[in-house]
Amino acid sequence: MTVVMPEEGTAPLPALPDDRRSWRSRRSRRSSRQGRDGGRRGGLLPYALLVPTLVGLGAGLGYPLVRLVVISTQEFGRAQQFGAPAPYVGTDNFTEIFGSSYFWDVLWRSLIFCAVNVALTIVLGTLLALLLARLGPVMRTGLSVALLLAWATPALTATIVWQWIFDARYGVVNWLLVRLGADYEGHSWLRQPLSFFFVGTLIVVWMGVPFVAFTLYAGMTQISREVMEAAAIDGAGGWQRFRDITWPALKPIFVVLVALSTLWDLRVFTQVFVLQQAGGIVRDTNTLGVYAFRQGGSGDFGLGAAVAVVMVGITLLLTLVHLRQMFRQEEV
Amino acid sequence: MNTKKLAAAGLAGVLLLAACGSDDDDGDVSAGDSGSDSAELEAPPEDTEATLRVWLNGPDTPDEMIDLAKSEFAEQYPNVTVEVERQEWDGLVNRLDTVLPTEDSPDIFEVGNTQAQSYEAAGAMVDLTAHREELGGDDLVDSLVEAGTYDDTFYGVPYYGGARIVVYRKDLFEKAGLEIPTTLQEFVEAGKALKADNADVPNFSGIYFPGRNWQATLSFIWDAGGDIAVNADGEWVGELSSDESVAGLETVQDIMQNANAAPADSDDAEDYLDFCNGEVGMLMGPGWKMGQITGEDGCPGKYDDVLGAFALPGSDGGVAPSFLGGSNLGISSKSENPALALEFLKVLTSETYQTEFAEIGLIPVRKSLLGEVQGDEAAQAQATAAEVTRFVPSSENWADVEGGNILQDMGTAIAGGADVQDEAARADESIVGILNG
């Protein structure tokens, strides 16, 4: 996907009319051949080839999803978990969550947390990508390795390390702040929800930035150097070049990145859950995913499933919006 | 239904043993037995080959005791491997909910006495009513048997009991010219005095009281005449926001804010480390806390000579009511070897094994051994504290109150200076919602 995007992204540039034409014609040639052959053969083979994927998807995603929806319409407690029959309660679970002000608190909290994280991830990722493009080979390799390590660290490990860094009693942050003369002796970073989410955001963004930076950097390497040079000679500053060349060229990539980051940050679980274990007030720091899990943890799997179904709904909605945008861009 | 499942599990066991290529025909005997009967379990033959998986929680059972149990059991069943896996108390409910209904379930699991009924009610444990006598019968401590019984059926075998005691530094008391407090008020004042006296030590707690230590909080609520919730004609009514409970919680807030340096949002799982750092004058913990401080995980030799313990005094000069903690052991309904598991449980409730508990400062589950508790200061304090014990609301939904972090959240908020009345009312609302289903 990322290989095609930049090529298409360069299309609007006046400097590359040939590329554009040849790409278009290649595509039309391919599609016309497909139309002819596909129409004649018609056969079941293409569908047969799809079967393994569909079976895999069905087993891995479809079944749990169906089960989730079923449980969300049942009174499903600990006894049911251990085999008792689960009574059907229709939409009771949904009525209950939509009727509780706490659910809406959690929902808004999750959406805001997600929005802030996505914005920060994209901005920082872009800045780092620009930096990567300008650095010399040695420094670029160094930065790439650093980014790669941050990216490769499992979420659980990363969260625990960050949690130690911010530990109230033995954390290096408090130690440093105290040395600098601030009154942070034994300060608990997780106790206040706002500072809890500050730490959470730090972890989520830290882990999300590398992917964004690498992808954008890959995109930037596809932008013709001549165009950039010509623009520079014509007197365009760094910001102008970014706004008028890089941004339009990489817009499709940005769309994909924003969509993916949104999906990831909305269903963030590990970071929040582990931080809650370490400190803070659970009730004031639950996000959607954690809240769904905790409903199950407090013996009400039906309610937890209902919250999860709402979450899946929001995610699907966002995916649809994203897909629409992608198709629209392809049409242009 | 249950029998069918057991039979299926037994069959799976047979297949597994066969797959292992064992030529020994005796190998499948136990598996066959387990499938046949769920009410009465017959002791498997001595040459049974199997693996028993046992989940024990936290640092409560020292390694030496586990070795002792294993070697005793090995005399009976030399071909059985006992695998003890340690679990954290934190998040235990989630873990049990997830693993117990599956084939990965351990054969035996330990569960907090406050959480036991939830699993008994859910059908997660094997019915042991027929074997009560062999496991100790009337010699078992009543309150723990109660926690192990649901609907007149005995599932959860008492493992140990424990009341919280105060562990303190004698040298610091001497330096500040303090005596062992005889009332709750004196205890609070002593905490503040210690903190003032050691102001040069950063992060020093006169009384170490992190916000999530809800078990210790209960003593103050009960001492003031309050309670968590009471059952009025089958309906639970919240009591945390009553005047008495709030008074108790205000004392707690006073300690947390003025005598304590433990973080408002941490629990007491690692208090021994801070104690070993010399940052603690007094802490409220289970009987084995002293052993943890002087043991390998703590700081052996550092404070051994200056460590003391006493039972938390009440406002009236007597003993403050203390939360009766403890554990029950259950055989998982999914166990392939329930009969064998039962034999191991018999070892864990035996007099030899239970005497060890008494020696490390816990309450043995056999009444006949209660007089034996004399050992060190911790054990004596424990015995005194155990004179007045209280329990959380007896409901199969209580585990969900613990799982929902409600008392922990309340403690954290109170430690952070929130209004006690407001926080108590919030907690009441959540607790009553859960208890009343």
Of the listed ranges A127-136, B157-166, B286-295, the least confidently predicted one is: B286-295
Q: Which of B304, B307, B256 is nearest to B281 (CA)?
A: B307
Across the interface, whether the CB atoms of A78 and B203 are under 8 A apart is answered no
Q: How many CB pairs under 8 A join A and B?
A: 92
Nearest CB neighbour to A78, from listed B91, B97, B406: B97
Nearest CB neighbour to B265, from listed A79, A191, A297: A191
Q: How far apart are CA A332 and CA A64, in angstroms?
A: 38
Per-residue pLDDT at A17: 42
- Which residue's entry shows tokens 């002293």? B290
Across the interface, whether the CB atoms of A81 and B409 are under 8 A apart is answered no
Lookup: tokens for A210: 């590398």
Q: Pick the residue from chain A with its C-alpha nearest to B332.
A: A82
Nearest CB neighbour to A82, from listed B123, B264, B265: B123
Which position has the higher pLDDT, B26 or B72? B72
Cβ atoms B240, B228 nearer than 8 A: yes
pLDDT score of B22 more than 60: no
A79 vs B: CB within 8 A: yes
A83 vs B: CB within 8 A: yes
Per-residue pLDDT at B369: 83
Q: Pick the residue from chain B with its C-alpha nearest to A185.
A: B203
pLDDT score of B34 more than 80: no
Q: Pick the residue from chain B with its C-alpha nearest to A167.
A: B263
Which of B118, B209, B405 has the most A C-beta neighbours within 10 Å, making it the best mutation to test the interface with A?
B405
Of the listed ranges A130-144, B27-41, B99-113, B204-218, the least confidently predicted one is: B27-41
- Summarised one tens digit per residue, pLDDT across range B355-377 is 888 877 788 888 888 766 556 78
Per-residue pLDDT at A41: 59
Q: Flag residues of chain A having pLDDT under 50.
A: 1-39
- Which residue's entry shows tokens 């269903």? A267
What confidence category does residue B409 fall into, taking pLDDT thresholds of 50, 70 and 90? very high
Per-residue pLDDT at A328: 80
Which position has the higher pLDDT, B9 or B336? B336
Q: Which of B333, B405, B202, B265 is nearest to A199 (CA)?
A: B265
In the stretch 196-235 of chain A, residues with CB closer than 8 A to chain B read none
Q: What is the ipTM of this complex?
A: 0.78
pLDDT score of B222 more than 90: yes
Per-residue pLDDT at B372: 63
Query: DSSP secondary structure string, A10-59?
Result: TTT-TT-HHHHHHHHHHHHHHHHHHHHHHHHH--SHHHHHHHHHHHHHII
Nearest CB neighbour to A185, from listed B91, B203, B400: B203
In the stretch 104-133 of chain B, residues with CB closer than 8 A to chain A read 118-119, 121-124
Across the interface, whether the CB atoms of B263 and A281 are under 8 A apart is answered no
Lookup: tokens for B399: 């585990």
Per-residue pLDDT at A40: 53
A102 vs B: CB within 8 A: no
- Summarised one tens digit per residue, pLDDT across range B44-90 is 888 889 999 999 998 888 888 999 999 999 999 999 999 999 999 88
User: What are residue B310's DSSP bridge partners?
Assistant: B166
Across the interface, whether the CB atoms of A281 and B409 are under 8 A apart is answered yes
CA distance A195 to chain B (A): 13
Which of A281, A284, A290, A300 has the most B C-beta neighbours within 10 Å, making it the best mutation to test the interface with B?
A281
Per-residue pLDDT at A5: 41
Q: Pick the residue from chain B with its C-alpha nearest to A297.
A: B94
Q: How far apart are CA B374 and CA B355, in angstroms?
A: 11
